Chain A
Amino acid sequence: MDSISYYLQTVLNGILAGCIYALFAMGLTLIYGVLNFVNFAHGELIMWGAYFLFLFMAEPFGLPLYVAVFPALALTGCLGLAMDYSVFRPIRRANRLTLLIAAMGLSVFLRNAAQFFWGAEVRTYGFEVMAGTQFFGLYLTTQQFAIIGVTILCVIAVYLLFFRSRLGKSMRALSDNLDLARISGIDTKRAIRAAWVISAVLAAIGGILLALDTNLHPEMGIANLIKAFAATLIGGVGNLWGALLGGLLIGLAENIGVLFISPGYKDGIAFVIMVLILLARPYVIIGERSD
């Protein structure tokens, strides 16, 4: 492979990783917009989404991938709702520290529950590793085609939902001002439920794509939470399109970055970008006051 296509391949890999980060970041920023807090357990939705698919593809179900995806996404949506009902709704009006620590506790609980059931070992869905299809000197596997295709579909779906439907309008109203939305007669409970389901499903889709391309393990969620967060910071917190762009940028930066530094630090690049943004534009993301 000559050097130009090597660099192009790096860029392509960056875009692939970026698509997945974008899906994570959009879910994270959506919950932030509507409920005004960072869901620390978002990473666990990513991980459980991937493991739910594993569950339905393994015995006793043994469903093929294209069928198993649907119950897996549905279950992750339910998990998102369950998180809200059992933990976040009772403390919706509590102070921020309470919310944040509860989210952290939930994250610990869900991560270790996955480890309890499936063990700490790295797993795969059991597809054989295929040589990628070559075109224009670049290699792409079927999974990677899927990543790009599914991400584009999700972005279109999110666009239609948010900017072309009443439900989306009510969610946007909520993220502007919760109380104002409520007294305007918007069914805020319904909008919040919808936000949780969408956020969880986006997380699950991202998690499944990531696991298809690489593998599954219980720490996969928390490892990606920081990247999703860095992506939301780049785009401006609460901004869906910003999250999309931020995700792509983080993916590109990571993959181009390892050309220059040790791959052992690949996962640290997102953090460094985050710190650089903060130093350069310190007031962008300070956002609302805590109470």
Chain B
Amino acid sequence: MDLLLHLLIVIAIYAIFALSLNVEVGYTGLFNFGHVAFFAIGAYTSALLTLAGVPFVWSLPAALFMAGLCGFLLSIPALKLQGDYFGIATLGFGEILRMIVNNEVWLTKGPMGLPGIPRPELFSIVFDTLPRYLILSSGFALLTFAILGFVVLSPFGRALKAVRDDETAAEILGKNAYRFKIKSFAIGSVFAGLAGVLWAHYTTFIGPGDFTLTETILVLLIVVMGGKGTFLGPVVGAVVLIVFQESVRFLRLPPEWTRLLGPLQQMIFGLLLVVLMVFRPEGIIREKGGRR
């Protein structure tokens, strides 16, 4: 039962994470390979603030603001790059952020990580048990789903798709593609931050090892496999891949196997990305009217 609750909580958090990436990759066509950085910024901001005694009600918005601000500031130079280069710039940012977390020991305790992050308390309810935490995280997941769903259905969302499909045409129609991309990136960063906050207060321990390229790949795979540019795609992807990943973790295998299991699982994820791109780039759920 605990395992099931754990699974559902992790799925909810990764669904938020994937939905946020979907705004960028799916709807705007931005190649973000450093999405984990904003997850980490959210996690660290909220963790550090609550450890310093700030209540969750304030640390949450602060964390979202920090993630959004960093996304905004990064996107100003980075979005001047054409697709592929933007991908490398974000990849570089992800690595830089990990470097900062590792080196600024006075703030982040470096590789030691931050233990004992308190469970969140909202409106005098402490979300300290698995069922309660599930309510909190799935509540936020639904909220994210609703807000981002509203955003992408709005005229703003249609403009994002226009920018993705044909930047020149969008510019001719008077849409400033650069600004739309910045906004999309900032929105994605805020919700990645939210997923990070929920993650930090769920595991109660975070360290630089939690925020590697591996996480970005996982969330990218979730979006791509589920179906980028669709509502339900990231959620479906999160269910499939998190169930796979977490159930492998709970298999009782001899220790000499587990050393091989990590790389093997990553090999499968990498291969899945390649196979999907070659044979079904649209993923499980196809975008309506979408093109390959």
Contacts and interface: CB of A to CB of B under 8 A. Distances in A.
B88 A108 contact: no
Interface string B71-109: 000000110111111011101110110010011000000
Contact of A102 (B99, B168, B263, B273): B273
Interface string A92-121: 001111111110111111111101100110
B248 interface: no
Interface stretch (A8-16, A151-159, A260-268): A260-268
B217 A40 contact: no
A108 B221 CA distance: 11
B277 A101 contact: yes
B278 A108 contact: no
B264 interface: yes
A286 B77 CA distance: 12
Given A113-B267, A225-B88, A108 B217 contact: yes
Interface residues of A, number: 56
B210 interface: no
A194 B125 CA distance: 65
> Chain B at the A interface: mostly helix, strand, loop or mixed?
helix
B269 interface: yes
Contacts of A264: 99, 102-103
A226 B78 CA distance: 14
B274 interface: yes
Given A113-B263, A116-B263, A268-B99, A102 B91 contact: no
Interface string B253-268: 0000001101110110
Given A275-B77, A278-B80, A87 B278 contact: yes
> Chain A at the B interface: mostly helix, strand, loop or mixed?
helix
B222 interface: no
B269 A94 contact: no
A109 B259 CA distance: 16
B217 A104 contact: yes
A257 to B, nearest CB: 13
A97 B96 contact: no
Nearest to A286: B82
B224 interface: yes
B85 A98 contact: no
B209 interface: no
A237 to B, nearest CB: 8
Given A104-B33, A112-B267, A96 B99 contact: no
Given A112-B263, A271-B92, A38 B84 contact: yes
Interface string A270-284: 110011001100110
Contact of B270 (A90, A109, A287): A109
Given A222-B213, A289-B168, 4 more contacts: A112-B270, A265-B103, A275-B89, A285-B82
What are the 8 tightest A-B residue pairs by CB atom distance, in nearest-first order? Answer: A105-B273, A109-B270, A108-B270, A102-B277, A38-B84, A112-B266, A264-B103, A271-B92
